[in-house]
Structure 1
């Protein structure tokens, strides 16, 4: 690999860019970084608070060292990056086996999404790139040495590759900003109302009901939660207050993936907890957690769905404003 400095540099620069992007994004959203430790159920042998604080700085430091370490010093850096990527990949693969979907801010505010096989594939590619850098380091290579080996043609090839990657990043970054609210910035009055889709809930009194039946006598705010999700836990702690403020016009229900989760929810009143068989509610609305949706007594959707801790809180405030105005 040392005989192909352009390839070595592209691999090294790619990994360094990923690490810097990840580290800076984590620093910009420290709460999401800490929440990811809970969502991924990182083993307790890892001190979550300390690790969440140190991890972004470690990623940025490794990125700098990948680019600056001279020959002979690159190997320990490359091995550290490989171990880090292997750890991330193991956590993602493990999370795919959890009963409920896992939403993780793997890249801070840039990477909030449900973990799936695409996430695993991405991490697998990063492991391969890390392995190539280890190979490069074992062969006595380094980024500074590879830069010194470039001729003018190689240099232009590298510049073109970096420019293409930067343009792709700008295009993707400019078009894929996460929409935490499906309504966008539209007012509640402009909301295009659709019939309540079919979904089933098991209520605290063991009755089963469809979503449409649930809202025949009272509008309902459904808040979809997971027990191991820190934003969900913080959202759940607000449910009692929301229920009191929205009553009697709107009833509040927390929707959990299974009965143990609903029964073990201590952050709100037990009568607010419901169970969705086979995750049918979050599937019909295509939402991760926490999420919220408002269904009306007329058999139509009244708002949402919205996804994300802040978006749910803002949505409830919007509903309260509408109730006050009415």
Structure 2
């Protein structure tokens, strides 16, 4: 590696950029960082509150040390970075085996939040980069020594690599904005088939539920911080939307529905066959508005912030409806 200073710098600087970005993002959204420990079901041997508070600082310190550490100190720093990436990869791989989709703010409030095979591939690549940095450090390298070995052509190559990375980031960001614009032009699809078990002991499919009024399904699960905070809003939301829209809290099983204390028991239902989660391909928390005409009226949306914004949109839409003559 010491004979290829440009390659060494590109690898180290990429890992530094990821760690620094992740650390800053986690500091900007501390609650999302703490919630990620619950979403990923981090083993209880890890003190979640303490670890969530320390993790962004660990990432930022690692980023600085990877840049500044001399060759004799870079080995332990690189090993710690590799161990961190291995832990992240293992947690994501484990989460892919959960019964329901997982959303996790691994990069705070930025980046993708759906945990899938793309997430696993990204983490595996970062783990590989960290392993290369360990190799570079064991070979006696450091950022300072690699930078000293660069000639003019090497510096131009490094600048070109940085420019390419910046362009890729801008292009991907633009693609996300286009996707958001497309979603704003909402196409109404028919409500898919699905059955929920209600708090009064009845079972009803989604078509039956919407035969008399529109329904706002709020998909939740026990032990999920964002779900708990979302559930706490449901009683007030249900009162403000009635009678135009009925609110239904959807849990994965009867025990979770019966144990929910954040809202009135009458709002609870459960989805033991994952009809709703699989039919709409959502994690938790999520929300879907079902129209009384048999078509989707909004959503699905997922994530605490997006669900809260969706609640406001539904409230505004209901408020704009003309009053029914008494």
TM-score (norm 1): 0.90
**Match of 1:323?**
318
- CA drift of 1:126 comes to 1.1
1:264 matched to 2:270? The reply is no
1:57/1:43 Cα in 2 relative to 1: closer, same or farther (>3 Å)? same
State the distance in 1 between where 2:284 and 2:243 align.
Answer: 26
**Match of 1:29?**
29
- CA drift of 1:181 comes to 10
State the distance in 2 between where 1:183 and 1:160 align.
Answer: 35
1:49/1:278 Cα in 2 relative to 1: closer, same or farther (>3 Å)? same
1:301 matched to 2:296? The reply is yes
**Match of 1:83?**
83
State the distance in 1 between where 2:12 and 2:119 align.
Answer: 21
**Match of 1:62?**
62
**Match of 1:108?**
108
| Equivalent residues of 1:181, 1:306 under 8 A apart | no
1:251-289: CA deviation from partner (whole Å, max 9, x where unpaired): 111112233322332222222221224322133223332
Structure 1 unaligned residues grouped into runs of 5+: none
**Match of 2:242?**
247
Matches within 5 A, 1:179-198: 184=184, 192-198=187-193
1:290 matched to 2:280? The reply is no
Task: Give the secondary-structure state (helix, strand or coil) at the position aligned to 1:108.
Answer: coil
| Equivalent residues of 2:287, 2:307 under 8 A apart | yes
1:323/1:157 Cα in 2 relative to 1: closer, same or farther (>3 Å)? closer
TM-score (norm 2): 0.90
**Match of 2:17?**
17
1:100-145: CA deviation from partner (whole Å, max 9, x where unpaired): 2211001111134221122112111111111111111111111110
**Match of 1:38?**
38
Task: Give the secondary-structure state (helix, strand or coil) at the position aligned to 2:16.
Answer: helix
1:320/1:260 Cα in 2 relative to 1: closer, same or farther (>3 Å)? same
- Count of residues in correspondence between the two structures: 321
Structure 2 unaligned residues grouped into runs of 5+: none
Task: Give the secondary-structure state (helix, strand or coil) at the position aligned to 1:73.
Answer: helix
Task: Give the secondary-structure state (helix, strand or coil) at the position aligned to 2:218.
Answer: strand
RMSD, aligned α-carbons = 2.2
State the distance in 1 between where 2:57 and 2:112 align.
Answer: 20
Instruction: Give the 4+ runs in structure 1 shifted more than 6 A.
Output: 178-182
**Match of 1:94?**
94
